[in-house]
Structure formats: structure tokens, C-alpha cells
């Protein structure tokens, strides 16, 4: 999906406007989940060499789309932060909207990427598809996360993951301000 990031930003904005966060306990729990998601994204960003090779090491040994897995975890963390115990219907609606929107965005994106990667890497990508699941990691590949030879500082800098970290930090600060000041 060409407009994935723009659509994701619009969905996130709708979530931020609609939600009424109120719980510091949920805020801190959500922040921990967001941090885990960001850690997965950082690892994936240091391992993938985009448009040059089929990356199957590091986090890519456990799951074909660790960047999207990290984004899903970060989104789940944000949803926990935005949850309102005193408004369960609003919270449920926000979670359902987010699941539908992001589910659709990433389903379409992953399918399009698979078609592209099959056209470039053919049988190698088919073999990889059979070995690693699309979004939920397989336990046998988790050791790949700890294979330091899979990571590169140069690759990490080139992939500019700092932008995602900055956005996550801004979201966390905004939600904290909403809880503290009640807006």
C-alpha cells in the first residue's frame, strides 16, 4: 500500500482524538509494550538491507515482517495507554477501529510485498515463506534475534528508524499530558 504511512497517521490521529485516557497504570503498561515493539523495530532496522538482498537472518529468521510486528506491538501499547476503565464501550470501539484499520493496512501491504519479493527472489522467497511466518514469530527462529552478526550499524543508520522512535516518544508525551491535564 503506497499510502500506508499517511493512512496510519490519520488512523492514529482519530484514535488520539476519540480516546479519553485516564489511567497511569495503563499508561505505564502501554509504554512498556510500546518499548518492546520499538526494540523489535530497532533490531529489524539494523538487519534489513532493503532492495538489495533477501534478509533471512536476525529477527527475520523468526518472522518475515518484524518491522510490522514491532509496529503492531507499539500500536497495542498505545491502545493500552489510551484505554479508559471508566468508559469500556469507548475503549472497545477504539480497539476495534484500530484492529480493523491496521489489520487492513498491513494485510494489503504484506500481500503486495510478497508478490514483489516472489517476483524478485522466486524459489528462495517461497522457501523463506515456508520457514518463517508472516507476522507472529516462530520459536525456532527466535535465536536469530541474538545473532549479532546479523546486525549492522551502517544499515541501522541508513534505515532511519530514529523517525519512528521520535514519533513514539511524541505520542507517549502527548498521552501523558492528556492524562495529567484531563484534555
Angle (CA) 165-40-131 rounded to 5° is: 145
62 in any annotated domain: yes
Please give the model's pTM, rounded to 2 decimal places.
0.92
Count of domains for the chain: 1
145 has a pLDDT exceeding 90: no
Whole-angstrom distance, CA of residue 140 vs CA of residue 165: 28
1 in any annotated domain: no
Q: What is the pLDDT of residues 94-133, one digit of tens each?
A: 999 999 999 999 999 999 999 999 999 999 999 999 999 9
Per DSSP, the three-state class of 9 is: helix
Q: What is the pLDDT of residues 45-59, one digit of tens each?
A: 999 988 788 999 999
109 in any annotated domain: yes
8 in any annotated domain: no
Domain housing 61: 21-181
Amino acid at each position: 500500500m503506497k499510502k500506508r504511512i499517511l493512512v496510519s497517521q490519520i488512523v492514529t490521529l482519530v484514535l488520539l482524538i476519540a480516546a479519553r485516557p485516564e489511567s497511569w497504570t495503563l499508561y505505564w503498561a502501554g509504554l512498556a509494550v510500546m518499548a518492546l515493539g520499538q526494540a523489535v523495530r530497532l533490531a529489524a532496522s539494523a538487519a534489513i538491507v532493503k532492495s538489495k538482498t533477501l534478509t533471512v537472518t536476525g529477527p527475520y529468521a523468526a518472522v518475515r515482517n518484524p518491522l510490522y510486528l514491532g509496529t503492531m506491538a507499539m500500536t497495542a501499547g498505545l491502545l493500552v495507554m489510551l484505554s479508559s476503565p471508566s468508559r469500556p464501550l469507548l475503549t472497545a470501539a477504539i480497539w476495534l477501529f484500530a484492529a480493523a484499520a491496521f489489520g487492513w493496512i498491513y494485510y494489503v501491504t504484506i500481500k503486495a510485498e510478497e508478490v514483489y519479493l516472489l517476483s524478485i527472489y522466486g524459489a528462495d522467497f517461497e522457501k523463506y515463506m515456508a520457514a518463517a511466518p508472516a507476522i507472529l514469530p516462530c520459536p525456532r527462529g527466535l535465536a536469530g534475534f541474538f545473532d549479532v552478526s546479523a546486525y549492522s550499524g551502517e544499515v541501522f543508520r541508513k534505515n532511519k528508524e530514529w523517525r519512528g522512535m521520535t514519533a513514539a516518544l511524541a505520542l507517549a508525551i502527548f498521552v501523558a499530558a492528556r492524562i495529567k491535564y484531563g484534555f
